[in-house]
């Protein structure tokens, strides 16, 4: 499936993408907004993400996928790959 293909590309380039995203102040928080709060990105936020991705894609070309029609639908997969909270939290009852 094509989504799995792009997810593998994100995983393969995770370190490069993460390093570049962390270079841009506030971009990681913006990317994780949907994942952390469940709120959707506004049109302005999507424009800001695309602006940053345009610059980052010069270093990490896989991000060019977000400029194709429907490419933004893959953003949740990228945030899943970049999420640094991989440790499952154990809740004591």
Domain-wise residue ranges, the chain: 13-80
Q: Is 18 within 8 Å of 82 (Cβ atoms)?
A: yes
Q: Which residue in this structure is represented by tokens 């270093």? A: 59
Left (φ > 0), alpha (ψ -120 to 50) or beta: where does 89 sit?
beta
Relative orientation angle of helices 2-12 and 14-23, to the nearest 10 degrees: 70
Tell me the pLDDT tens digit for each residue of 16-57.
999 999 999 999 999 999 988 999 999 999 999 999 999 999
Tell me the whole-structure pTM to 2 decimals: 0.76
């Amino acid at each position: 499936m094509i989504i799995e293909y792009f997810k593998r590309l994100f995983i393969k380039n995770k370190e490069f993408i993460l390093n570049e995203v962390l270079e841009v102040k506030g971009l990681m928080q913006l990317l994780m907004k949907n994942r952390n709060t469940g709120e959707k990105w506004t049109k302005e936020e999507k424009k800001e993400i695309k602006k940053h991705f345009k610059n980052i894609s010069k270093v990490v070309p896989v991000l060019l996928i977000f400029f194709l029609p429907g490419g933004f639908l893959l953003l949740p997969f990228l945030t899943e790959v970049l999420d640094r909270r991989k440790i499952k939290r154990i809740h004591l009852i």
